[in-house]
Amino acid sequence: MALFSAGMIPVFEVPKWTIIACAMAMALGTAVGGWKIIRTMGGRIVKLEPVNGFAADLSSSFVIYGASMFGMPVSTTHVVSSCIMGVGSAKRVSAVRWGVAKQIVSAWILTIPASAAVAALSYTVIHFLLGV
């Protein structure tokens, strides 16, 4: 979207190099800090057994694929963590550590305004430094 908006690509089609760069950045982020997310998702929300993990992953893939078919952007992390909460609730509602779930949902809510603030600050600094 940024490349198209800036006029750097003539049509709204994501270039291969952009896909590869994003995939590499995601892989690097997972390699560096992913263990904390994996630990939270796999043990702190609800105690997962292999069949529970399979059910959560399968349902996540259906939701993400369905959203993609309609062109709706979704956060894979939000979908997966919600599916994990759903699997835990299916076992029994008390199996889910709702305090941890509340922290996660709070972080989701804060992500949007925090991202907007960082983007505004970045733009202001770039505008000041480059005079663009």
Per residue in 102-122, pLDDT (tens digit) is 998 898 899 889 999 999 999
Instruction: With both helix axes pointing from N to C terminus, report the angle between 76-91 and 50-69 in degrees, rounded to the nearest 10.
Output: 140
Q: Would you state the pLDDT for residue 43?
A: 75
Predicted confidence band at 32 (pLDDT cuts at 50, 70, 90)?
Answer: confident
Kindly state the average pLDDT of the residues 61-84: 90
Q: Would you state the pLDDT for residue 12?
A: 85
Distances (CA, A) of 36 to 41, 54, 105: 9, 20, 17
Q: What is the percent of the chain where pLDDT is above 90?
A: 31
pLDDT at 39 > cutoff 80: no
- Supply the pTM of this predicted model: 0.63
Could you tell me if 44 and 85 are in contact, meaning their C-beta atoms sit under 8 angstroms apart?
no
Could you tell me if 44 and 67 are in contact, meaning their C-beta atoms sit under 8 angstroms apart?
no
pLDDT at 128 > cutoff 80: yes
Q: What is the percent of the chain where pLDDT is above 70?
A: 99
